[in-house]
Structure formats: C-alpha cells, structure tokens
Structure 1
Amino acid sequence: MFDIITVPVDGSEYGYKAADVAIEIAQKFNSKIAAVHVLEEFSFNSYDSEEDSGNEILAKISEKASKVGVEVTEHLLTADPLRDMKFIVDQTHGDLVVIHAHGANNNRFVSFDENNVSDTQIGSVSERLLRTSNVPVLLVK
C-alpha cells in the first residue's frame, strides 16, 4: 500500500513520536522510510554543528527502524521547511507523509493562559503540508 513513508524529523519529542508511528506502519506494510531533517537556511549556529545534530537525529531513526527490519534512507537537506516541505516530500517519492503536529520550536503555539501547547493548534509546516501535499498526510499529536 505504501512503498515509501516520508518522515520529517526535527529532533523534538513530537518528531520522534511521528517517526515511531511511521516505523510501525512501515513494518505492517513492508515499506521503506525516507527520514528527512532540514537544516534551516538561516541559523545562528554554525553549519557544522547543525549538520552534526541533523546526522544524529537521522541516525536515531535509522537505528530504531533497523532493529525491527525497516529500511531507512536518510535525507539531510538545507532548505526552508515551511516553503519547501511539499517539494521535499515529492523528491523522496513518498506515498505517505507522517509528520508531527508541533515541532521543536512550538513557542508560537503556547496558550498564555495555561502555558502549554493546545491540542487544537498545529505547527505552520504541518499545516501547510496538510493543505498542499499530493499524498496522504498522517498528523501525529
């Protein structure tokens, strides 16, 4: 049913939760995973440290998947996640995207009354991908 499951991961707990769901689906459908980590075009950190961090994030996904027999292709890219995620998904040839509702920078989604992330809000990258993707998108909360 799904040959390739594309999983954008950012190193957040939400991203790893989405990767876990993708691995479980890949096991059931004998699918491969395209794990994607995007290095932001403009960052205050050095490119080398960002690249090292991205490689560590992708390695965690690959290690977890390999333990259950799921093949992972790692994609470490420099891009703008908000602008480029649909293109990235298209380039990985994913039949399904499994993405988290909130990312590493969820400060924009904090409820000032309760000081936590609302269950009714989603991140900007996830929201745009839901609207523009040509393949099914599974949103993990």
Structure 2
Amino acid sequence: MFNVIMLPVDGSEYGDKAAAVAIDLAKKYSARIAAVHVLEEFSFNSYDSEEDSGDEILAKITEKASEVGVEVTEHLLTADPLRDMKFIVEQTRADLVVIHAHGANNNRFVSFEENNVSDTQIGSVSERLLRTSNVPVLLIK
C-alpha cells in the first residue's frame, strides 16, 4: 500500500509521536521512511550547530526504526518548511506523509491562543501541507 513514508521531524515531543506512528506503519506495510529535518534558511543560530542538531534528530529516528527492521533514508535540508514542504514530498517520492499537528516552533499557528497550545490548533506547515499535498497526509495530534 505504501512504499515511502515521509516523516518531517523537528525534535519536538509531537514529532516523536508522529515518528512512532510512521515507524509502525512502515513496519506493517514493509515501507521505508524518508525522515526529513529542515534547517531554516534564516536562523539566528550558527549553521554548524543547527546541522549538528538536525543530524542528532535524524539519527534518533533511524535508530528507533532500525530496532524494528525499518529502513530510513535521512534528509537534512536547508529550506523554508512553510514554502517548500510540498516540493520536499515530491522529491522524496513519498506516497504518504506522517506529520505532527504542531512542533517546536509555537509562533506559526493557524489559530493561536495567547501563549497556549490547544488540541484544536494546527501549525502552519502542517496546515499548508494538508491543503497542497498530492499524497495522503496523516496528521498526528
């Protein structure tokens, strides 16, 4: 049913929940995971520290997946996740995307209540991907 499951990860607890679901689905359907971590084009942190952090996040996913026999291809990219996620899905040749409703960046909510993240909120990257993706998107809350 699925051959490549794309998993955008940011190191947040929400991303960990999505990773667990993606790994379970990949095992069930003998699919591989395309784990994607996007380094923001414009960041106040040094590129080296962002790259090291991204490598650690991806390695964690690969380790969890390999424990149950799931193959992972790691993608560490510099891009704008809001603008480029649909293109990234196409480039990974994913036929399913498993993404968390919101992640580490609490400043990009479609419906933002003052300093509180509620169960009804969805991040802007997830929301745009739901609207524009040509493949199924499984949103994890």
Residue in 1 aligned with 2:57? 57
Residue in 2 aligned with 1:45? 45
What is the identity, as a one-letter code, of the residue corresponding to 2:73? T
Residue in 2 aligned with 1:18? 18
Gaps of 5+ in 1: none
What is the identity, as a one-letter code, of the residue corresponding to 2:130? L
TM-score by length of 2: 0.95
Deviates more, 1:67-76 or 1:10-19: 10-19
Work out the CA distance in 2 between the residues paired with 1:87 and 1:42: 19
What is the identity, as a one-letter code, of the residue corresponding to 2:7? V
1:111-132 per-residue CA deviation (whole Å, 9 max, x = no partner) reads: 33xx531111100000000000
* Deviation of 1:72 (Å): 0.1
Residue in 2 aligned with 1:31? 31
Instruction: State how 1:53-132 maps to structure 2 within 5 Å.
Output: 53-109=53-109, 111-112=113-114, 116-132=116-132
Work out the CA distance in 2 between the residues paired with 1:96 and 1:87: 14
Work out the CA distance in 2 between the residues paired with 1:121 and 1:16: 18
What is the identity, as a one-letter code, of the residue corresponding to 1:60? K
TM-score by length of 1: 0.95
Work out the CA distance in 2 between the residues paired with 1:30 and 1:122: 29
What is the identity, as a one-letter code, of the residue corresponding to 1:111? E
Work out the CA distance in 2 between the residues paired with 1:10 and 1:108: 14
Work out the CA distance in 1 between the residues paired with 2:12 and 2:107: 13
Whether the 8 Å CA contact 2:36–2:76 is kept in 1: the answer is yes
Work out the CA distance in 2 between the residues paired with 1:25 and 1:108: 28
Gaps of 5+ in 2: none
Residue in 1 aligned with 2:8? 8
What is the identity, as a one-letter code, of the residue corresponding to 1:101? A
Whether the 8 Å CA contact 2:6–2:97 is kept in 1: the answer is yes
CA RMSD of aligned residues (A): 1.0
What is the identity, as a one-letter code, of the residue corresponding to 1:37? H
What is the identity, as a one-letter code, of the residue corresponding to 1:94? A
- Percent identity, aligned pairs only, is 83
1:5-56 per-residue CA deviation (whole Å, 9 max, x = no partner) reads: 0000011111111011000000110100000000000000100000000000
* Deviation of 1:107 (Å): 4.0
Say how many residue pairs are matched: 139
Work out the CA distance in 1 between the residues paired with 2:44 and 2:117: 25
